[in-house]
A and B are shown apart, each in its own frame.
Chain A
């Protein structure tokens, strides 16, 4: 009976261990994802003030990077998502706007 109890305890711990590890690493993975998002966002959206000086290819690349960031908003927490959704819309909107004005002037 005692042996059975020990075996069951070991079995339970073994089964629970990976889940515990996953639970501990989940916040770390989220924090890493958020940091990666922040870095990319800061890099992409730091160029808005010089947008008029960028080439069409540079602007297209920035729009593409903004579009790549958009799905990652879903991984942020609710409040962050609200803030960065707007900031990303403003940032992407400006690059697309400047790109559009270039097309207008080229026609």
Chain B
């Protein structure tokens, strides 16, 4: 059976070391280039909930409002990167310090891309021992086998909460017959997420949502695609959701 990639609407994925990278270029100056945020580094250390609920990072371009001032005051990046907060035996370096210009030779360049960018970690070295998926890292296996232990609570920022209850599992039936249904697990998603991260912003109530969720919408960043296009495992791996779907769709022009 020939399946045209256009029917599946998925895009080609970038190299693994660039998957999940977010470029923040709202405050570029001659001294400080854009910030390239690596999800692969942070998700090994923290749950999605810590950043996208407790600290308040929105999941979309220009929707959070990060700038040097907010960081200096201890919000957003500065919530952890204050030069004092300890994670194990590591002290998070201070971001956007008031005398950052004077220290531009090192502190600023940890995040702001420039000819002097000095990154402490590279993708290849950092992920060398982590279990691999068809594409990128198998993060669930990494946690289940103890390679990573994501932090779920930041003192002074996270509100102590009970564990999610009523973790309903859902069966979702596709519109086309040549794909099998999806078993959506709240159990798995609530391990790293909070209810308010998805509901209602990503998944509204039935009366506010379209009658059917399509792959076109997902591939364009709506619904599941809010995470599973650019950060969580990409929708190119069909059989990660559709039990009997193709293993991988490379992108436009792909033929099964």
Q: Which residues of A contact B (CB under 8 A)?
A: 42, 45-53, 77-80, 82-84, 86-87, 90-91, 93-94, 96-98, 100-101, 104
With A79-B73, A86-B58 as known contacts, state yes or no: A93 contacts B166, CB within 8 Å. no
B196 and A94: CB pair below 8 A? yes
With A46-B159, A50-B162 as known contacts, state yes or no: A82 contacts B195, CB within 8 Å. no
CA A51 to CA B163, docked complex, whole Å: 11
Known: A90-B53, A94-B200; 16 extra A-B contacts, CB below 8 A, are: A46-B159, A48-B161, A49-B162, A49-B165, A49-B195, A52-B166, A52-B195, A78-B69, A82-B64, A82-B70, A82-B75, A83-B55, A86-B58, A86-B64, A97-B205, A100-B205
Chain A residues, CB < 8 A from B65:
82
9 A–B contacts from the bound complex (CB under 8 Å): A46-B160, A48-B161, A48-B196, A49-B162, A49-B194, A53-B166, A79-B75, A83-B76, A90-B53
Residues 141-165 of chain B, each 1 if its beta carbon lies under 8 Å from chain A, else 0:
0000000000000000001111111
A93 and B73: CB pair below 8 A? no
Total A-B contacts with CB atoms under 8 angstroms apart = 76
Name the 3 nearest CB pairs between A and B, nearest first.
A94-B196, A52-B166, A90-B196
Q: Is the interface on chain B under 10, 10 to 19, 20 to 34, or 35 or more residues?
A: 20 to 34
A42 and B159: CB pair below 8 A? yes
B207 and A80: CB pair below 8 A? no
Q: Does B104 contact A (CB under 8 A)?
A: no
Q: Does B182 contact A (CB under 8 A)?
A: no
Chain A residues, CB < 8 A from B76:
83
Q: Which residues of B contact A (CB under 8 A)?
A: 53-56, 58, 64-65, 69-70, 73, 75-76, 159-166, 194-197, 199-201, 204-207
- Considering the complex, give the chain A residue whose CB is closest to the CB of B79: A83
Chain B residues, CB < 8 A from A86:
56, 58, 64
- Considering the complex, give the chain A residue whose CB is closest to the CB of B52: A90
Chain B residues, CB < 8 A from A84:
56
